[in-house]
Chains A and B, each alone.
Chain A
């Protein structure tokens, strides 16, 4: 176990201060950068897609995991991002300009949603975001002159600064660049006043308010940041799918995002990434199982959603902190070996809260 002897305040705000963290992150980065060298195209594009979902997951994590605002409408931002970008570049707008414009648009739409959502809590917020999603999905389907409706919209190939980046490995590196940017940015946010205000609103709006946090504005900001990042994921998803259709961005996609961050572990950036890994790897494992299992079981229709559901239920029952929680325990076990006890992570029940003013 490494005990840090902190001598400067910088030690507390730095990233990756422990040697173990540096080694682990270094290894993951080395793998990610080298992946196109040894992965087949199929697995590489799966990995690409994973990165896109991880970005979307981080977007939703900022809102739900860090600000405590539930949203079942995040697929809408994925959709707005994908369509806006596809339409812009098909009109000849350069990639970089289009990405920025799309993120700004998504951010503004997110802020508008946040403005109306900032007075809502719990179920009402969930229903409102769901309604927003249905609205956007319908809009994407019915605004035929812009989106070509349910017939679908072909996304032009990726071209950055004149260079055509259509190959799988090229798109992969673009995605990698953006996810690193988003991870560092999100981590920055949560070591600075803005992110702390998000946490404050999540844990107690009452005392956040009395300490000078403008709760409504924080929620609007959080919606904006979250929507902009999810919109960025939408941009990358558009290139990944290369053909857009409104029903892709429906309720199921929203649930998938929500499930990702819950199973991954709410309240950590790593959790969003873990969640993305899970939902990307699970279908591959299930399709592998299909071949291994006897045909009577393996070929049953509905096996895939069933297994998917069972695994998620098991997670929620057995590890409410999500994959991130499990990871923390494993890490703690090795770091403090042989002192780890099961009770190390048993939390006391929180004190009874009465007279809470919402």
Chain B
């Protein structure tokens, strides 16, 4: 696992037509911390993730991860810098098994040569077994052993969420972007996610950035919170500071009468 580095986003902007989806957003994510991004729907949270993973081209600004200038890379090269992500609307490989999904998660560590793969030379077999062992570690961590050979299309929503998290972890990231890890989960499952995120942070030493609406989960896991509204940074601070921030309350959390 590569050492965590600082993700620094500076003056990031993107326009869709006349809409400033993200406007002049700057923030840092320090190694080893958990940053939560909150904000109302349409605030531009997911757009920031899509900008970091290079699915969108920003109109302005810079994104650096350690020494790497992410804007100089193609989308498929991002994971090589150590950044993995999950999606808000689960993007698994539906017609394949959980195990295959997780092995694809390890793609960045594999060499895919058509000819040696076609012949399945002993070297390919050996590397397959090694990667399988690493995948099993993640399966143990997230307790999804019972789904190992199931096809994604046959899994429940909650299980899919776990598999997607597992797949991102299989890439051995140093920074993990989680897009609403607890959306659609019940209270018990959300608690599990909370524990896993703690495990991922402490045991695997992964830096986490998560978009989340569940403020209990945010309070439990996050070290810092970034509040966004209408594409702009509203406030950034500890969960308690954000909870007490008047602007955030007005825009998102709601003001008690």
Q: Check B133 for interface membership: any CB of A closer than 8 A.
A: yes
Whether A211 lies near B114 (C-beta < 8 A) is no
Interface of chain B, main secondary structure: helix
Whether A213 lies near B96 (C-beta < 8 A) is no
Q: Check B108 for interface membership: any CB of A closer than 8 A.
A: yes
Q: Check B243 for interface membership: any CB of A closer than 8 A.
A: no
Residue-wise interface mask of B (88-99) relative to A, using a CB-CB cutoff of 8 A (1 in contact, 0 not): 111111111001
CB contacts (< 8 Å) of B93 on chain A: these are 199-200, 202-204, 207-208
Q: Check A246 for interface membership: any CB of B closer than 8 A.
A: no
| CB closest residue in chain B, given A214 | B76
**How far apart are B172's CB and chain A's nearest CB, in angstroms?**
11
Residue-wise interface mask of A (328-358) relative to B, using a CB-CB cutoff of 8 A (1 in contact, 0 not): 0000000000000000000110111111110
Q: Check B213 for interface membership: any CB of A closer than 8 A.
A: no
Whether B119 lies near A355 (C-beta < 8 A) is no
**How far apart are B174's CB and chain A's nearest CB, in angstroms?**
14
**Which range contains the number of A residues in contact with the other chain?**
35 or more
Whether B104 lies near A210 (C-beta < 8 A) is no
Q: Check B200 for interface membership: any CB of A closer than 8 A.
A: no
Whether A192 lies near B94 (C-beta < 8 A) is no
Choose among B80, B84, B117, B153 the residue that contacts A350 (Cβ–Cβ < 8 A): B153
Interface of chain A, main secondary structure: helix
| CB closest residue in chain B, given A358 | B55
Choose among B80, B104, B125 the residue that contacts A13 (Cβ–Cβ < 8 A): B125
A255 to B53, CA, bound (A): 39
Choose among A185, A211, A348, A350 the residue that contacts B105 (Cβ–Cβ < 8 A): A211
**Which range contains the number of B residues in contact with the other chain?**
35 or more
Choose among A10, A199, A207, A357 the residue that contacts B95 (Cβ–Cβ < 8 A): A199
Whether A355 lies near B89 (C-beta < 8 A) is yes
Whether A207 lies near B92 (C-beta < 8 A) is yes
A353 to B93, CA, bound (A): 13
Q: Given the interface contacts A9-B132, A207-B87, does A188 sit within 8 Å of B76 by beta carbon?
A: no
Q: Given the interface contacts A9-B133, A210-B79, A210-B84, does A193 sit within 8 Å of B117 by beta carbon?
A: yes
CB contacts (< 8 Å) of A326 on chain B: these are none
Instruction: Name the residue among B79, B94, B96, B112 with the largest chain A CB count within 10 angstroms.
Output: B112
Chain A interfacial positions (CB closer than 8 Å to B) = 9-10, 12-13, 185, 188-189, 191-197, 199-200, 202-204, 206-215, 221, 224-225, 267, 347-348, 350-357
Q: A194-B112, A209-B75, A212-B78 are in contact. List 17 more A-B contacts (CB 8 A).
A: A9-B128, A13-B125, A189-B118, A193-B111, A204-B91, A204-B92, A204-B93, A206-B87, A207-B87, A211-B171, A212-B107, A212-B171, A215-B76, A224-B114, A347-B154, A350-B94, A351-B157
List 12 A–B pairs whose Cβ atoms lie within 8 Å, in order of A's numbering: A10-B129, A185-B119, A193-B117, A197-B107, A200-B93, A203-B93, A207-B92, A213-B104, A224-B114, A225-B114, A350-B94, A355-B89
Question: Shortest 3 CB-CB distances between A and B: which pairs?
Answer: A203-B93, A212-B108, A188-B120
